[in-house]
Amino acid sequence: MSSPLPSSRAASVLDLAPVVPVVVVDDLADAVPLARALVAGGLPAIEVTLRTPVALDAIRAIAGEVPGAVVGAGTVIAPGQVGDVVAAGARFLVSPGWTDALLEAMRASGVPFLPGVSTTSEVVALLERGVREMKFFPAEAAGGTAYLKALAAPLPQARFCPTGGITPGSAPQYLALPNVGCVGGSWMLPKDAVADRDWGRVEALAREAAGLSAGGTCR
């Protein structure tokens, strides 16, 4: 079974590793070996996006067959998806955005969640609702490190997992910010490596990503 989170707070997701792999599983047969490679490389928190027909089964397989993995569900955009992914074994939830109905469903699930934001007003609205840990998406398109740096002074209580357009070169700049706990990315899962089932290459790239560290007060 997958490892438990250190606590029930979303902050524990932010602190598991500096990088959360964002995974799109097209072939269910790839789910377990791919996850094993990521965990072996030092990236235990794995976000499986709900973008393919096999996503739920992939979450179920990883949760049941990959020791050390903390598998979560990404691209959660409807309240009705929450129960399904938690039943499949998701240990955390990530959304690209949020509504009150979706937020209520994620909160009621009992597992950590990272609602997506891209504006200051959305951040303030979540803080008003008692949520301090968020996904910043799409990170590069929404203003990148400059935007997050600007948010740190007036809204220091908010912590982020920026995702969207982040590369091995830009990741350290994000992780150096005091309000960033980790980043999401898929660069450790190049399409050709997955197509060739070159899990050794995936593990090596995961190990490089795991070697990054967050700055400021986040880690």
Q: Which of 122, 128, 135, 208 is catalytic?
A: 135
Question: Which residue among 47, 104, 122, 133 is the active-site one?
Answer: 47
Q: What is the CA 182 to chain-centroid distance, rounded? A: 8
65 is catalytic: no
**Model confidence, pTM:** 0.92
Per-chain mean pLDDT for the chain: 92
Chain centroid, CA 201 distance in Å: 21
The pLDDT value given to residue 12? 63
Q: How many CA atoms lie within 13 A of 146 on its CB side?
A: 4
Q: Six-digit token pair at 112?
A: 């950590």
State yes or no: is 191 an active-site residue: no
What is the pLDDT, as a whole number, of residue 13? 81
Question: Scanning the structure block, which residue is given the tokens 């990959």?
Answer: 66
Given strand 183-185, what is the order of strands in its sheet?
113-114, 93-94, 70-74, 45-49, 19-23, 183-185
Which tens digit of pLDDT belongs to each residue from 159-176? 999 999 999 999 999 999
In the predicted structure, residue 214 carries a pLDDT above the cut 90: no
